[in-house]
């Protein structure tokens, strides 16, 4: 019976490890598309940020312990509850956006034309849209009716029949490599939109005035992984983000839109001598606002429950959402080298804080007393109540039997960041067992974490506080190294040295 009572919480917490880290890996592309990387693409490979995180953790821990000893527990509770509210709202909003968006897939078409196209445009027709390709230097054009897979082309001179390029009131000036774009009103030659983007601009275009888009001229900008929508008359009026993989090295391509039923449309990009096509669902700003309101409402409800009824399952639910958001953001913000440095530094710090200074035990005891979701709680018995939980130090001093197993959120977040970083920064184009290489390494890292967790539990069930990160981070690094070598067959470990 004793073995069963211990096995149940061990399996329960292991399930939460899989849930948090697996979902964080799934959400990583959406978080990157939304620009939530803390240090941008350039700063992601700087090991100095690992030291920065360690210093911040030391400072935060020191301030919290100081305030606890001075009797300012209510202040700490209020501040942490505010952080919890913001983190949960962000996670739920991102989950909502992922649920209603579709990454989509590109279809590549090689048009059967007798010239090298340098222009593309679309015109409406009674039976649908007609797409035109042209070489403006040679004065040649070719048309194909949308819906026939663009495999039937009718060559004709530019300007004959309906093959004249449409007259637009806007001119695009684009620097694809440096990621800058200007939109100029040709009537008075004034710049109506100017913006720099993170990453290369793959393609851009101004759409015709489609009724589907509330009668406004629509400008579309596409970079390597993100699709952004703006209206030219009010560039910040609406925008959405969709994850996608363009799989091209070209920059500065031309993009046109073909409206479909409702608010849906098709993107067509002229990329050199080929066409890239993808179906897209348009998400209006009203949807985004509604999702934001939904996320804030759920976060508020959970925060109130946490204050009024801090039972273990409420604490765990909030803790899982917090761990999910922090793991994802930290994992996409640091590349492999800084993450490995961070895991090693924090493993050493955790051992020092638990076994030498023991201030981490004091912090955990205070967190339990304040009923904050900075720990995961898994009871051994069904009748357990976290609201009646005594202080951990009090239980240790009295030799009383532990009624639950506690694992700090950091024990999930810190090793989990390596799995997220592997998925975010390693190449997906090396396949292994029919799966993308970066996904295999991320899952291999998770397996290593679970191995470290099971080893840790052998010490935890003896009843004494244990430093989790030495075993958990060690398992994560071991799983990463083994799976990386198996998948990519080299010893670089995916590390890009910053010098």
Expressed as residue numbers, the domain containing 242 is 107-282
59-93 pLDDT, tens digit per residue, is: 888 888 888 888 888 888 888 888 888 888 888 88
Q: Are 346 and 443 contained in the same domain?
A: yes
Q: Are 276 and 358 contained in the same domain?
A: no
Give domain status of residue 84, yes or no: no
Rounded to an integer, what distance in angstroms lies between the CA atom of residue 448 and that of residue 481? 10
Give domain status of residue 299, yes or no: no
More confident call, 204 vs 152: 152
Phi first, then psi: give them for residue 404, nearest 5 degrees.
-155, 160
Average pLDDT of the chain to the nearest whole number: 78
Q: Are 333 and 421 contained in the same domain?
A: yes
Range scoring the smallest mean pLDDT among 36-45, 49-58, 209-218: 209-218
Q: What is the pTM of this model?
A: 0.71
Q: Are 195 and 253 contained in the same domain?
A: yes
Q: Are 54 and 121 contained in the same domain?
A: no
- Percent of the chain beyond pLDDT 70? 73
Give domain status of residue 50, yes or no: yes
More confident call, 270 vs 478: 478
* Residue for token pair 């821990």: 61
> What is the count of structural domains for the chain?
2
Q: Are 275 and 404 contained in the same domain?
A: no
Rounded to an integer, what distance in angstroms lies between the CA atom of residue 232 and that of residue 440? 43
Q: Are 144 and 255 contained in the same domain?
A: yes
pLDDT computed for residue 220 by the predictor: 59
Sign of CA pseudo-dihedral 188, 193, 199, 204: negative
Q: Are 365 and 247 contained in the same domain?
A: no
Give domain status of residue 232, yes or no: yes
Give domain status of residue 499, yes or no: no
The domain boundary, picked from 236, 267, 282, lies at 282
Give domain status of residue 497, yes or no: no
Q: Are 227 and 167 contained in the same domain?
A: yes
Q: Are 189 and 260 contained in the same domain?
A: yes
392: three-class secondary structure by DSSP? helix
Give domain status of residue 292, yes or no: no
Helices (H), 165-309: 285-308
Q: Are 331 and 473 contained in the same domain?
A: yes
Give domain status of residue 248, yes or no: yes
Q: Are 254 and 323 contained in the same domain?
A: no
More confident call, 157 vs 253: 157
């Amino acid at each position: 019976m004793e073995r069963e009572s211990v096995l149940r919480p061990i399996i329960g917490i292991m399930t939460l490890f899989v849930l948090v880290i697996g979902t964080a890996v799934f959400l990583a592309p959406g978080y990157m598309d939304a620009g939530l990387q803390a240090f941008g693409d350039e700063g992601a490979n700087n090991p100095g940020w690992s030291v920065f995180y360690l210093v911040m953790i030391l400072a935060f821990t020191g301030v919290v312990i100081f305030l606890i000893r001075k009797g300012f527990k209510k202040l700490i509770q209020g501040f942490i509850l505010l952080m919890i509210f913001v983190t949960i709202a962000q996670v739920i909003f991102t989950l909502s956006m992922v649920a209603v968006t579709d990454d989509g897939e590109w279809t590549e078409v090689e048009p059967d034309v007798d010239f090298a196209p340098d222009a593309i445009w679309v015109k409406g027709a009674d039976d649908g849209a007609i797409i035109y390709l042209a070489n403006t230097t040679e004065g040649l054009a070719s048309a194909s009716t949308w819906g026939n897979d663009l495999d039937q082309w009718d060559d004709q001179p530019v300007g004959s029949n309906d093959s004249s390029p449409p007259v637009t009131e806007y001119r695009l000036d684009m620097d694809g490599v440096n990621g800058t774009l200007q939109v100029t009103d040709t009537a008075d030659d004034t710049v109506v939109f100017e913006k720099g983007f993170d990453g290369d601009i793959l393609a851009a275009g101004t759409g015709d005035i489609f009724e589907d888009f509330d009668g406004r001229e629509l400008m579309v900008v596409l970079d390597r992984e993100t699709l952004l929508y703006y209206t030219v008359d009010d560039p910040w009026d609406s925008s959405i983000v969709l994850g996608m993989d363009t799989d091209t090295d070209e920059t500065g391509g031309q993009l046109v839109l073909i409206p479909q039923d409702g608010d849906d449309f098709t993107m067509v990009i002229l990329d050199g001598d080929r066409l890239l096509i993808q179906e897209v669902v348009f998400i209006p700003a009203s949807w985004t606002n509604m999702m934001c309101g939904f996320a804030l409402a759920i976060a508020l409800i959970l925060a109130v429950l946490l204050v009024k009824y801090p039972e273990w399952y409420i604490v765990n639910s909030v803790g899982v959402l917090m761990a999910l958001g922090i793991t994802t953001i930290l994992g996409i913000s640091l590349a492999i080298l800084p993450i490995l440095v961070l895991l090693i530094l924090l493993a050493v710090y955790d051992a020092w804080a638990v076994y030498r200074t023991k201030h981490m035990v004091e912090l955990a005891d205070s967190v339990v007393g304040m009923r904050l979701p900075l720990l995961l709680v898994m009871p051994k018995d069904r009748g357990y109540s976290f609201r009646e939980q005594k202080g951990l130090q009090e239980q240790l001093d009295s030799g009383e039997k532990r009624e639950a197993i506690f694992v700090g959120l950091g024990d999930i977040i810190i090793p989990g960041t390596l799995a997220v970083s592997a998925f975010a920064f390693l190449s997906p184009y090396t396949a292994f067992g029919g799966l993308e290489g970066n996904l295999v390494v991320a899952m291999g890292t998770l397996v290593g974490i679970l191995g470290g967790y099971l080893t840790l539990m052998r010490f935890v069930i003896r009843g004494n506080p244990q430093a989790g990160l030495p075993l958990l981070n060690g398992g994560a690094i071991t799983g990463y190294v083994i799976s990386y070598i198996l998948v990519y067959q080299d010893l670089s470990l995916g590390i890009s040295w910053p010098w």
